[in-house]
Amino acid sequence: NKYTQITLLEEIDAKGFAGLYNFFYLPMDVHNRSNVGYAFINFNAPSSAQSFFKAFSEHHFTRFPSRKVSSVCAAHVQGLDENLRHFENRAVTHAKNDQYRPVVLNGAERVDFLEAVEQAKARLGAGCGKDERAPTTLGQEAVEQAK
């Protein structure tokens, strides 16, 4: 659980996923300054989510030696706008340390979370509601591998 937002995103991007996602959240234990063992990532297209699923299912993380391997599944909350709505009123979105806040991206550019929420509200208000396509938001969990 030594990965930070930056180091995990570097590993994800190094596997060819840079620019293919628009939302990322790695929950952190603020007292221990470590991640809690799972993350959420929303992809721009279902095909990118499927590629990520293949690449990171049973992935052995490289930066820190560990017996942990990742497990990937579809998340309960799907889509950028739905994730923004889900996290809009959570304390974590107002954390002083931006390493603890969800990341919203437009291509490679980081977008202010509150601005992204306002844009999502405008899209939802304009009738661009929930997308019923294949899953784009995946949850990733590092689990201890059995010996």
From the list 79, 37, 39, 72, the residue with the least C-alpha distance to 54 is 72
Percent of the chain at pLDDT exceeding 70: 85
Query: What is the arithmetic mean of pLDDT over 56-69?
Result: 87
Asked if residues 50 and 61 have their Cβ atoms less than 8 Å apart, the reply is: no
So what's the pLDDT on residue 23? 96
Spatial distance between the Cα atoms of 134 and 82, rounded to a whole number of angstroms: 14
Residue 15 DSSP SS3: helix
pTM given for the model: 0.84
